Every structure is written in C-alpha cells, then in structure tokens.
C-alpha cells in the first residue's frame, strides 16, 4: 500500500511531548490571534486526546461535543482533530466552557472549566484585564489600543498554557447515550428555482421538484457569535 503523509503528524507529536506552545501556535494559525480562551482550548484538547489515547483521522470515530462556540472551541478543534468540517465536532449549546470527547463504543470524558479559573488566571497575568475592558467590552478600535490588547493576549495565552490542568478544569468519565450516527452521504440535487446544487435533506418538495430552503423561504438555522438561532 502506498504511504501518504499523516497530516496531523506534528500535532500528534506535540500532544505526546506535551508541547503546548507548539499546539498554541498551530491553533492560533486558524484562530487569528492569541488569547486566553484559545489557550484554554489547547490545554483542554491535549488532556482530552491523551485521556482517550486515540488519534483523530477525521472519520467520525472520535467525536467532540462542544457546549460553546467561543475561542476555546478553536483550540479544542485543532488539538483533537474533531472539526466542524469533518463532522467530528458536535455543537450542543449549553453556553458552558465544556468539552466532551467520545471514542465510539469505548470511552467518553467531559472537561468543564473550574468556577475559579478566570480569577486564577487573572492573578497570573493582571495586565490583560484593562485591555480587555477597552477592546472587548467597550469595543474600542483605536489602533494602538487593539495592538496592545493583542500583545497582552499573547502573553496571557503563554501564561495560561503553563498552568496545571487541574487549576483550570475538572475532568470526569461520562457517557453519551444519544450520540449521532455516522453522517450519511447525502445526495446532491439541483434546486428547481435557483438551480444551485443542494443537499437533498435540505430541500422541500414543491410540485414534485426539489426546492432549496432559501427559495422556499424555509427556516435556515444559523450559528453565529451569539450562538444558535
């Protein structure tokens, strides 16, 4: 059999070597900035993968349930390899910073942030709080202020990955009885109105034709910065 590259080689290696800095840089490449949330996700993701002892290939044997769509979920996606695009990531919106990893038919672990984690991290790097207030709470877009915010974000992320896991999260073995089945391969059909290709299970039937949700004014669900709507 032909040997092809394993695309997660350097991530898997960093997990084994507990090289959280390497994982943080890799996660930041898709996240766009360094922040505490991303760092928390990296810490959580590394713990999840090492507990389950399996490596992800994006074929849905390994699944992650994320309960929030904030910065941390990007860290978890990169480190676990369970992503939105490979159907390995399930979004169950409770609004908690909590992640569950499931190895189908084997084991599941849920990680949840400690109630005192935020305050604990604040004491480790207090300089960040002021910047956060200006840029995130008051939405300042003043260039120097944003730049300073990013610098503090970077340093706080670096401080965060150096903290012991137990100071930030708790982890428990769990069970997920209602795990979704493997994603079905769905037929693609052509909407009879706009002529755009669309997944058949995302159409309605009008006059024995397939009509997409947009053309039929059906409800289109959206995941955005405020959650599901």
Of 35, 76, 108, 113, the one binding Zn ion by CB under 5 A: 35
Nearer to Zn ion, 179 or 204 (CB): 204
> Binding of Zn ion at residue 190 (CB under 5 A)?
no
> Binding of Zn ion at residue 215 (CB under 5 A)?
yes
Tell me the three-class secondary structure of the chain, residue by residue: CCCCCCCCHHHHHHHHCCCHHHHHHHHHHHHCCCCHHHHHHHHHHHHHHHHHCCCCCCCCCEEEEECCCCHHHHHHHHHHCCCCCCCCEEECCCCCCEEEEEECCCCEEEEEECCCHHHHHHHHCCCHHHHHHHHHHCCCCCHHHHHHHHHHHHHHHHHHHCCCHHHHEEEEECCCCCCCCCCCCCCEEECCCCCCEEEHHHEEEECCEEEECCCCCCCCCCEECCEEC
The distance of closest approach from Cβ of residue 65 to Zn ion in the complex, given in angstroms and rounded to an integer, is 20
Of 71, 72, 113, 117, the one binding Zn ion by CB under 5 A: 71
- Which range touches Zn ion (CB under 5 A), out of 64-72, 106-114, 143-151, 172-180? 64-72
Of 59, 194, 220, 228, the one binding Zn ion by CB under 5 A: 194
> Binding of Zn ion at residue 135 (CB under 5 A)?
no
Of 76, 117, 191, 210, the one binding Zn ion by CB under 5 A: 191
Nearer to Zn ion, 102 or 212 (CB): 212
Which residues in this chain contact Zn ion in the complex, by CB under 5 A?
A: 35, 37-38, 71, 191, 193-194, 212, 215
């Amino acid at each position: 059999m032909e040997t092809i590259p394993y695309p997660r080689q350097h991530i898997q290696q960093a997990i084994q070597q507990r090289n959280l800095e390497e994982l943080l840089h890799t996660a930041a490449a898709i996240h766009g900035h360094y922040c505490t949330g991303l760092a928390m996700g990296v810490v959580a993701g590394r713990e999840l993968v090492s507990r389950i002892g399996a490596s992800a290939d994006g074929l849905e044997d390994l699944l992650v349930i994320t309960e929030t769509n904030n910065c941390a979920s990007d860290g978890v996606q990169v480190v676990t390899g369970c992503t939105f695009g490979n159907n390995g990531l399930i979004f169950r919106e409770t609004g908690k910073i909590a992640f569950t990893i499931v190895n189908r038919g084997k084991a599941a672990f849920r990680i949840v942030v400690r109630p005192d984690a935020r305050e604990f991290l604040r004491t480790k790097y207090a300089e960040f709080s002021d910047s956060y207030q200006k840029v995130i709470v008051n939405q300042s877009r003043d260039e120097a202020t944003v730049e300073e915010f990013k610098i503090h974000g970077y340093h706080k992320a670096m401080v965060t990955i150096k903290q012991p896991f137990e100071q930030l999260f708790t982890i428990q073995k769990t069970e997920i009885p209602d795990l979704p089945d493997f994603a079905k391969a769905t037929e693609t059909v052509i909407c009879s109105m706009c002529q755009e290709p669309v997944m058949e299970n995302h159409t309605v039937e009008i006059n024995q034709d397939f009509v997409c949700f947009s053309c039929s004014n059906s409800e289109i669900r959206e995941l955005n910065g405020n959650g599901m709507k």
